[in-house]
């Protein structure tokens, strides 16, 4: 399984358009190689370099396994967005206080759908998805406000 973006390549800089310094919208993402048996996809975007530890920027689940693209500034039909560490649902772009941070776009194919509402957080999603993961991939983007 693979997750790519036309906005940035793996381990390269995320354009400011997709950050708090720009339009703060999700970048376009392309999904390929979803394994047979997948019932849904889960996407978690976090920053492991945040001062207080892992900071969650976006969670989205029950993405149809046939999804090949997540367009810029969009959510796939019938997918559910959860609560981020910003305290709301939806995408919150990179906004590091200092230095270069890594933003992990982690995609999982699972053999079920998740019965969670939008108040769910990353830990809730991971707990419910545990034991159901068929494949995982990670796209890493970098961002620094110290340019």
Give 24-63 pLDDT, tens digit per residue.
999 999 999 999 999 999 999 999 999 999 999 999 999 9
94-127 pLDDT tens trace: 999 999 999 999 999 999 999 999 999 999 999 9
8 Å CB contact between 1 and 136? yes
In sequence order, what are the residues at sequence separation of 6 or more whose Cβ sits closer than 8 angstroms to the Cβ of residue 116?
Answer: 61, 80, 82, 124, 125, 128
Residue 30 bridge partners (DSSP): 4, 69
Q: Is 74 left (phi over 0), alpha (psi -120 to 50) or beta?
A: beta
Separation CA 142–CA 98 (nearest Å): 12
**CATH code reported for the domain at 2-144:** 3.90.280.10
Whole-number pLDDT of residue 146: 73
Domain residues of the chain, as ranges? 2-144
């Amino acid at each position: 399984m693979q997750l790519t973006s036309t906005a940035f390549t793996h381990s390269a800089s995320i354009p400011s358009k997709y950050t708090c310094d720009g339009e703060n919208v999700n970048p376009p993402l392309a999904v390929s190689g979803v394994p047979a048996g997948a019932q849904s996809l889960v996407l978690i975007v976090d920053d492991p370099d945040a001062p207080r530890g892992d900071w969650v920027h976006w969670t989205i689940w029950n993405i149809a396994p046939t999804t090949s693209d997540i367009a810029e500034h969009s959510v796939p039909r019938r997918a559910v967005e959860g609560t981020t560490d910003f305290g709301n649902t939806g995408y919150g772009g990179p906004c590091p206080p200092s230095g270069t941070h890594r933003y992990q776009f982690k995609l999982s194919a699972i053999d079920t759908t998740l019965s969670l509402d939008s108040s769910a957080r990353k830990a809730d999603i991971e707990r419910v998805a545990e034991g159901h993961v068929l494949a995982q991939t990670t796209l890493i983007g970098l961002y620094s406000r110290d340019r």
